[in-house]
Amino acid sequence: MENILYAPWRTEYVSGEKGGGCVFCHITEHPDLDEAHHVLYRDERCFIVMNRYPYTPGHFMIIPHHHTDALETLDSQTWLHMSHLAQRGVALLKEHFGAQGVNIGMNLGRAGGAGIAEHIHMHVVPRWSGDTNFITSIAETRVYSTDFDKIYIRLKAVSAEYFGV
């Protein structure tokens, strides 16, 4: 018997037309669309955006405005700022989202596993004991049981407290 798990929220990602240009640069260039893009925070160096296709609920990314695929060429002040935002993001996820742990990481280059290899970005992924189970490890399937927009609203409501105004 074949088991089928429907994930209609991924239809746009899998079959949607890919727009021209860098999706992260598009977000950088359109601060007027921050709510539509699910941006939690932005300043002169970086922005923080919810991952539209998350590993777990609450997964967001810290992205420099500067378009580069090479971390080694990113200016040190921006790198330090990204690290500071990650530190504050971990606090937010633990204190306001109940995360029991957090993964932070970057996939650099297509060979390194980056889905969007042309613009570096740092993933901040909340974790809970037992959030990996048979469906994740054996069926290679993720179940996202929480409404994405509600999570965005919840995290956005406290983001200024952690990242600044």
Nearest residue to 101 via CA among 78, 124, 119: 124
Interior/surface letters 58-90, b for 16+ CB within 10 angstroms, e for the rest: bbbbbbbbeeeeeeeeeeeebbebbeebbebbb
Which residues, at least 6 apart from 34, have a Cβ–Cβ distance to it below 8 Å?
27, 42
Kindly state the DSSP code that residue 46 receives in the 8-state scheme. E
Is residue 121 part of the annotated active site? The answer reads yes
Record the tokens describing residue 143, joined without a space: 């179940």
**Catalytic entry in 38, 59, 119, 121:** 121
Between the CA atoms of 37, 124, 85 and 87, what dihedral angle is there, to the nearest 10 degrees? 160
Catalytically active residues, by annotation? 121
